[in-house]
Amino acid sequence: MSSAISPTRNDDYPEWYQQVIKAADLAEASPVRGCMVIKPWGYGIWEKIQKDLDRRIKATGHENAYFPLFIPLSYLEKEAAHVEGFAKECAVVTHHRLEEKNGKLVPTGELEEPLIVRPTSETIIGESFSKWVRSYRDLPLLINQWCNVVRWEMRTRLFLRTAEFLWQEGHTAHATKEEALAETNLMLKVYKECMEEALALSVLTGEKPEHERFPGAEVTLCCEAMMQDRKALQAGTSHYLGQNFAKASNIKFVTESGTEEYAHTTSWGVSTRLVGGVIMTHGDDDGLRLPPRIAPKQVVIIPVIPKPENQGSVLEYAEKVKSAISDEFYNGEKIEVQVDTRDMRGGDKNWQWIKKGVPVRIEVGPRDVSEDKVVLYRRDKEPKEKSFMTIGEAKGSISDILNQIQANYQADARNLRETYTRSDIENFNQLKEFFTPKNPEKPEIHGGFVLGYFFDSKEVADKLKELKLSVRCIPFDQDGTEGTCLITGKKTKIKAIFAKAY
Amino acid sequence: MSSAISPTRNDDYPEWYQQVIKAADLAEASPVRGCMVIKPWGYGIWEKIQKDLDRRIKATGHENAYFPLFIPLSYLEKEAAHVEGFAKECAVVTHHRLEEKNGKLVPTGELEEPLIVRPTSETIIGESFSKWVRSYRDLPLLINQWCNVVRWEMRTRLFLRTAEFLWQEGHTAHATKEEALAETNLMLKVYKECMEEALALSVLTGEKPEHERFPGAEVTLCCEAMMQDRKALQAGTSHYLGQNFAKASNIKFVTESGTEEYAHTTSWGVSTRLVGGVIMTHGDDDGLRLPPRIAPKQVVIIPVIPKPENQGSVLEYAEKVKSAISDEFYNGEKIEVQVDTRDMRGGDKNWQWIKKGVPVRIEVGPRDVSEDKVVLYRRDKEPKEKSFMTIGEAKGSISDILNQIQANYQADARNLRETYTRSDIENFNQLKEFFTPKNPEKPEIHGGFVLGYFFDSKEVADKLKELKLSVRCIPFDQDGTEGTCLITGKKTKIKAIFAKAY
């Protein structure tokens, strides 16, 4: 059977990914190196993700605020590990004016101190925190920011790794290590719930090994999801920063007993990368499949107009169906329905919406008008599988149908991760074999997650790098048994997830 | 009577503005020149404005998208008037890396072509439009973007004029001039409705004279609001760009008859400046007054706990009041209620919330618990004016009370504008006198809007500049009578609004 996307996932997964983005009209490259244009359907998904996550962030007591886009160069230098991690590739503003010289515009007005376009905002937000925090009564300070950030990446891929991207970054300050660690864990849980409930991803949570930590963090927790090519996607991270950034930014407070101490801070973020994760988790060879909770429209109505004389009655009927269905609720909000009135063949429209991944398509034609019926297609079923029903039946069942689709995508993601997670690999040779394609000329989809014994060390990190592998996380769930590290053979009671990653 | 804000509006209006921002904890200056930190209460207002306006923008058929932060220098040069207007003061990215040299971080990795941090996005969005528009079937193209922009302003003032600010910028392309002009007018109407219904501003709409147009526009429409110091605030603009930008960006389409034409484009925007407009329209000598529609919280509950033994029962009762009231709806959404449980004197809390402008304050103390009562204060009344009522009465009337407050603020704004708009000024001397304070040593609040005859010319613009005046707009409503221009004495049938402006 032919598919709407060429190549298929099996034929060439990276190229399939690009083609789905194109076919679903999600985003495209821009003339600015590494920066993308997020098109309306792609941005609509991000808006849905934002709305869901923002609600959860506020429900856990955080408030949104906004801090400057620019960071003075000297701020970046305040935290040693941080500057090491972020000074490498960033956009540097050096001038504040353009003037015409010999018919050409040239930068003038050199700044005394260059400004960095924020790659992350610990240092500039820390400056505010140092003013806002005076006493233990000011703690905890729980702030979140939705914004754009820039990291001058050399190799970019739409949504997954772009020079500019959109994200939220939470920044909090606490009186004690215990409270800051509790916050770090809480926000990881919030991420996991958002990813699983709204995005229908299946994520593993745990801690990063030392060499994979955020620059400047003492603990980095993460959500790792498995994509359909069985690679890992780091979908979100939550960091306990100890007192490192508090010392760098001078965030001090007077305790209840009158002593002065540095605060303990955290930071946590997820980005438009999540849209890439949704594509690679749920897409199939016909294009995108969108979980109803984050679909910009949950239902599209496609009027089929074989003859011009039908147009009036069919369009009128389509609006009637729309108003019946958009009165229904899904996940506490009214269902979002679009009537596609474009002047285009019904079959073409239908395939466009399949590729865009809209959860439910409803076709209405001249015969349906007279019989008060509709034809309903679900994106989680075969493209031609249809149900005939009355408007009343569609109205009565739409919320259930959307729930089923959401649940089916969740189950698919969970099955994928469980099916391709191996816990029986005992040594380096087995590990290497598992991650080696049978046909190196045209590598098939292979590998997965390996849960195996791990002794945290630089040696492990380096050796894994040779195989283009990494430790994705040390899962929170540990059985406590002892065994030998897959890489070094050293005795250890820790198990980690080994995988290839985006 | 003493007031919570010092100085008062009459004593020193600009300083009063700064003090209200501080007292209401809305925003503060940052270490980055001209960039502000928007604090949670200020950002909460912006979120409310965004939500209201976004709904209106979508309801009129526009879709959100996202375009790059950076604009290649050569793009800015494409439109002559545009580069003239925006190249002057902008942030220029020239390098993409930092390296340590002699113990100091210095910019390296010079870019082949400098990048401008967007001051507005006509040119970069135009590049996408030129790819998206092929045929008349692709038109109209109706796009909106929520983002940050940077203009290197020399003199900045929180919210009103900052180097970085947040805004939305709409960009649309149309097949004909008529359609593009209709869009330009429609979006001005959308702005006016949002400003009047949600922000409770009173705005005058009209067209800018030639010398006040957006650089590159053929028509600039605007909303002008009067602040309490009787100066004008340009609150939003909507531009018909003709085919200027379409030619610069090569946005061409094939018409129904097969010919090729340039599209007609528009752009329109409002920004975080609106928060400044809200402060200066509704604030009083006790601080901010927030229209309920854009208040981050509509109701705050203040538990009064005279003795520690009351704490449990009073806090429990406060939560009971909260759950009763937050079940009610205002403007189609559940009412947002906060219980202020901070360990602080009740009187201090009360004044903090007055200064923050929360529309309704509800005090609950030990006696209220036993009597099932609450004490309700409204921000549109005197600080001590209170109403005693049962929880049931509060629940039953809260939505009406919020509607009354919103309506009162709207009436106040309208009265202000109407009271200080003069239409009896006939010549230059009268105009000059109207805008001259009686006491130049300590100028009192004076002036206002003058509706008078106007003959559009450079001479007028220059002469007004000497008086620090400008033509704010040529109102859409014209009576068509003939008279003599206030500045030049030339015969004209056009009347304009003359004012001092922010």
> Which of B491, B488, B448 shows the shortest CA–CA distance to B469?
B448
Tokens of residue B282, six digits: 């509704």
A413 lies in a domain?
no
Please say which residue of B252, B282, B312 terminates a domain.
B282
- B118, B152 in Cβ contact below 8 A? no
Shared domain for A173 and A48, answered yes or no, is yes
Interchain contact, A35 vs B147, CB within 8 Å: no
For residue B65, give the nearest of A43, A94, A117 by CB distance.
A43
Cβ–Cβ contact B339 with A under 8 A: no
Shared domain for A43 and A180, answered yes or no, is yes
Shared domain for B316 and B433, answered yes or no, is no
**Could you give the CA distance from residue A174 to residue A180 in angstroms, rounded to a whole number?**
6
**Phi, psi of B216, deg, nearest 5:** 110, -10
Shared domain for A135 and A193, answered yes or no, is yes
Tokens of residue A90, six digits: 């960033």
| Closest chain B CA to residue A97 | B89
The whole-number pLDDT of residue B1 equals 57
> Which of B87, B83, B104, B105 shows the shortest CA–CA distance to B95?
B105
Q: Nearest CA of chain A to the CA of B239: how many Å?
A: 22
Cβ–Cβ contact B332 with A under 8 A: no
Cβ–Cβ contact B60 with A under 8 A: no
> Residue A47: enclosing H or E segment and its boundaries?
helix A40-59
**Could you give the CA distance from residue A288 to residue A17 in angstroms, rounded to a whole number?**
9
pLDDT (mean) for A89-103: 92
Kindly report the three-state secondary structure assignment for every residue of B205-244.
Answer: EEECCHHHCCCCCCEEEEEEEECCCCCEEEEEEEEECCCH
- B420, B446 in Cβ contact below 8 A? no
**A–B interface: beta-carbon pairs under 8 A:** 188
Q: Nearest CA of chain A to the CA of B485: how many Å?
A: 38
Instruction: Show Cβ contacts of residue A229 under 8 Å, excluding neighbours closer than 6 positions.
Output: A9, A13, A280, A445
Interchain contact, B30 vs A128, CB within 8 Å: yes
pLDDT (mean) for A31-51: 97
User: Where would I find the beta strands (DSSP E) of A118-255?
Assistant: 141-150, 164-174, 203-207, 219-226, 232-240, 252-254
pLDDT (mean) for A446-462: 94
| Amino acid letter for position B293 | R
Task: Please tell me the number of Cα atoms within 13 Å of B404 on its side-chain side.
Answer: 10
Interchain contact, B88 vs A67, CB within 8 Å: no
**Could you give the CA distance from residue A5 to residue B439 in angstroms, rounded to a whole number?**
76
Q: Are strands B92-101 and A92-101 parallel, antiparallel or unpaired?
A: antiparallel
Beta bridge partners of A167: A147, A271
The whole-number pLDDT of residue B443 equals 85
**Could you give the CA distance from residue B253 to residue A436 in angstroms, rounded to a whole number?**
51
For residue A97, give the nearest of B46, B63, B88 by CB distance.
B88
Percent of chain B with pLDDT over 70: 100
pLDDT tens readout for residues B168-212:
999 999 999 999 999 999 999 999 999 999 999 999 999 999 989
Cβ–Cβ contact A115 with B under 8 A: yes
| Closest chain B CA to residue A44 | B64
Report the length, in residues, of chain B. Answer: 502
B201 lies in a domain?
yes
Cβ–Cβ contact A148 with B under 8 A: yes
Cβ–Cβ contact B343 with A under 8 A: yes
Shared domain for B110 and B19, answered yes or no, is yes
> Which of B186, B161, B160, B162 shows the shortest CA–CA distance to B172?
B186
**Could you give the CA distance from residue A40 to residue A192 in angstroms, rounded to a whole number?**
26
A90 lies in a domain?
yes
Beta bridge partners of A236: A223
Tokens of residue A278, six digits: 């949704």
Cβ–Cβ contact A158 with B under 8 A: no
Cβ–Cβ contact A85 with B under 8 A: no
- B119, B70 in Cβ contact below 8 A? no
Q: With the C-alpha atoms ordered B465, B468, B472, B474, is the resulting torsion angle positive or negative?
A: negative
Lowest-confidence range among A357-361, A444-448, B21-25, B238-242?
A444-448
> Number of structural domains, chain B?
3
Q: Is the pLDDT of residue A467 over 60?
A: yes
Q: Is the pLDDT of residue A400 over 90?
A: yes
For residue A150, give the nearest of B69, B75, B147 by CB distance.
B69
- Tell me A308's DSSP state: G
B287 lies in a domain?
no
> Which of B314, B324, B338 shows the shortest CA–CA distance to B397?
B324
Q: Nearest CA of chain B to the CA of A167: how many Å?
A: 12
- What's chain B's average pLDDT? 95
Find the helix packing angle between A273-282 and A13-23, rounded to 10°.
110
Shared domain for B201 and B135, answered yes or no, is yes
CATH of the domain at B162: 3.30.930.10
- What's chain A's average pLDDT? 95
**Phi, psi of B134, deg, nearest 5:** -120, -45
For residue A148, give the nearest of B69, B107, B124 by CB distance.
B69
Instruction: Show Cβ contacts of residue B20 under 8 Å, excluding neighbours closer than 6 positions.
Output: B5, B26, B279, B283, B287, B288, B355
Beta bridge partners of B337: B299
| Closest chain B CA to residue A96 | B91
Q: C-alpha angle with apex A478: A472 to A481, nearest 5 degrees?
A: 120
> Which of B45, B472, B425 shows the shortest CA–CA distance to B226?
B472
> Residue B460: enclosing H or E segment and its boundaries?
helix B458-466
Q: Nearest CA of chain A to the CA of B501: how many Å?
A: 26
Core vs surface per residue A52-74: b (16+ CB within 10 A) or e = bbbebbeeeebbbbbbbbbbbbe
**Could you give the CA distance from residue A45 to residue B288 in angstroms, rounded to a whole number?**
36
Q: Nearest CA of chain A to the CA of B109: how many Å?
A: 9
Interchain contact, B32 vs A93, CB within 8 Å: no
Interchain contact, A105 vs B32, CB within 8 Å: no
Q: Kindly list the residues from chain B whose CB atom is less than 8 angstroms away from the CB atom of residue A332.
A: none
The whole-number pLDDT of residue B230 equals 97
Cβ–Cβ contact B501 with A under 8 A: no
Cβ–Cβ contact A73 with B under 8 A: yes
Interchain contact, B97 vs A152, CB within 8 Å: yes
Cβ–Cβ contact B93 with A under 8 A: yes
Best residue in A25, A26, A30, A32 to probe B by mutation, most B CBs within 10 Å? A32
Interchain contact, B94 vs A95, CB within 8 Å: yes
CATH of the domain at A358: 3.40.50.800
> Residue A187: enclosing H or E segment and its boundaries?
helix A177-193
> Which of B152, B82, B77 shows the shortest CA–CA distance to B113?
B77
- A296, A44 in Cβ contact below 8 A? yes
The whole-number pLDDT of residue B499 equals 98
Best residue in A93, A135, A152 to probe B by mutation, most B CBs within 10 Å? A93
Shared domain for A396 and A452, answered yes or no, is no
B358 lies in a domain?
yes
Cβ–Cβ contact B66 with A under 8 A: yes
Q: Nearest CA of chain A to the CA of B166: how many Å?
A: 9
B308 lies in a domain?
yes
> Which of A265, A296, A244, A307 shows the shortest CA–CA distance to A132?
A265
Shared domain for A216 and A338, answered yes or no, is no
Q: Is the pLDDT of residue A440 over 90?
A: no
Find the helix packing angle between B391-419 and B273-282, rounded to 10°.
100
For residue B93, give the nearest of A44, A63, A93 by CB distance.
A93
Interchain contact, B32 vs A83, CB within 8 Å: no
**Phi, psi of B369, deg, nearest 5:** -55, -45
Cβ–Cβ contact B380 with A under 8 A: no
Q: Kindly list the residues from chain B whose CB atom is less than 8 angstroms away from the CB atom of residue A71.
A: 32
Shared domain for B83 and B153, answered yes or no, is yes
Helix (H, G, I), strand (E, B) or coil at B397: helix
Helix (H, G, I), strand (E, B) or coil at B487: coil
Shared domain for A351 and A446, answered yes or no, is no
Cβ–Cβ contact B26 with A under 8 A: no
Interchain contact, A114 vs B93, CB within 8 Å: no
**Could you give the CA distance from residue B428 to residue B407 in angstroms, rounded to a whole number?**
37
Task: Please tell me the number of Cα atoms within 13 Å of A140 on its side-chain side.
Answer: 23
Cβ–Cβ contact A26 with B under 8 A: no
Cβ–Cβ contact A80 with B under 8 A: no
Helix (H, G, I), strand (E, B) or coil at B37: strand
CATH of the domain at A493: 3.30.110.30
Q: Is the peptide bond before A140 cis (omega within 30 degrees of 0)?
A: yes
Q: Is the pLDDT of residue A373 over 90?
A: yes
Asked casually if ipTM beats, i.e. exceeds, 0.90, the reply is yes
Shared domain for B37 and B176, answered yes or no, is yes
| Amino acid letter for position B149 | V
Q: Kindly list the residues from chain B whose CB atom is less than 8 angstroms away from the CB atom of residue A46.
A: 66
Interchain contact, A137 vs B73, CB within 8 Å: no
User: What Å distances lie between residue A416 and A197, A289, A379, A413, A448, CA to CA?
Assistant: 17, 16, 19, 5, 9
- Tell me A465's DSSP state: H
Shared domain for A321 and A430, answered yes or no, is no
> Which of A245, A56, A91, A100 shows the shortest CA–CA distance to A165?
A91
pLDDT tens readout for residues B18-30:
999 999 999 999 9
Gyration radius of chain A over CA positions: 26
**Phi, psi of A389, deg, nearest 5:** -155, 165
Percent of chain A with pLDDT over 90: 91
Please say which residue of B366, B401, B436 terminates a domain.
B401
Q: Kindly list the residues from chain B whose CB atom is less than 8 angstroms away from the CB atom of residue A32.
A: 68, 70-72, 115, 124
**Could you give the CA distance from residue B435 to residue B499 in angstroms, rounded to a whole number?**
8
Q: Nearest CA of chain A to the CA of B52: how many Å?
A: 15
The whole-number pLDDT of residue B80 equals 76
Q: Is the pLDDT of residue A1 over 60?
A: no
Q: Is the peptide bond before A7 cis (omega within 30 degrees of 0)?
A: yes
In this structure, what is the dihedral angle of CA atoms A21, B70, A115, A50, given to the nearest 10 degrees? -40
A194 lies in a domain?
yes
**Could you give the CA distance from residue A277 to residue A330 in angstroms, rounded to a whole number?**
23
**Could you give the CA distance from residue B174 to residue B253 in angstroms, rounded to a whole number?**
10
Residue where the block lists tokens 């940052």: B30
| Amino acid letter for position A404 | Q
Tokens of residue B272, six digits: 């975080």
pLDDT tens readout for residues A127-173:
999 999 999 999 999 999 999 999 998 889 999 999 999 999 999 99
Interchain contact, A94 vs B96, CB within 8 Å: no
**Could you give the CA distance from residue B31 to residue A467 in angstroms, rounded to a whole number?**
45
Cβ–Cβ contact B80 with A under 8 A: no
Residue where the block lists tokens 């206030």: B486
A459 lies in a domain?
yes
Q: Nearest CA of chain B to the CA of A32: how many Å?
A: 7
pLDDT tens readout for residues A187-221:
999 999 999 999 999 999 999 999 899 999 999 99
**Could you give the CA distance from residue A233 to residue A416 in angstroms, rounded to a whole number?**
14
User: Domain range for residue B386?
Assistant: 299-401
pLDDT (mean) for A288-301: 98
Instruction: Show Cβ contacts of residue A309 under 8 Å, excluding neighbours closer than 6 positions.
Output: none
Please say which residue of B337, B372, B401 terminates a domain.
B401
- A216, A79 in Cβ contact below 8 A? yes
Instruction: Please give chain B's pLDDT, 502 residues, in tens.
Output: 579 999 999 999 999 999 999 999 999 999 999 999 999 999 999 999 999 999 999 999 999 999 999 999 999 888 777 788 887 799 999 999 999 888 889 999 999 999 999 999 999 999 999 999 999 999 999 999 999 999 998 889 999 999 999 999 999 999 999 999 999 999 999 999 999 999 999 999 999 999 899 999 999 999 999 999 999 999 999 999 999 999 999 999 999 999 999 999 999 999 999 999 999 999 999 999 999 999 999 999 999 998 999 999 999 999 999 999 999 999 999 999 999 999 888 889 999 999 999 999 999 999 999 999 999 999 999 999 999 999 999 999 999 999 999 999 999 999 999 999 999 999 999 999 999 998 888 888 999 999 999 999 989 989 999 999 999 999 999 999 999 999 999 999 999 999 999 9
Gyration radius of chain B over CA positions: 26
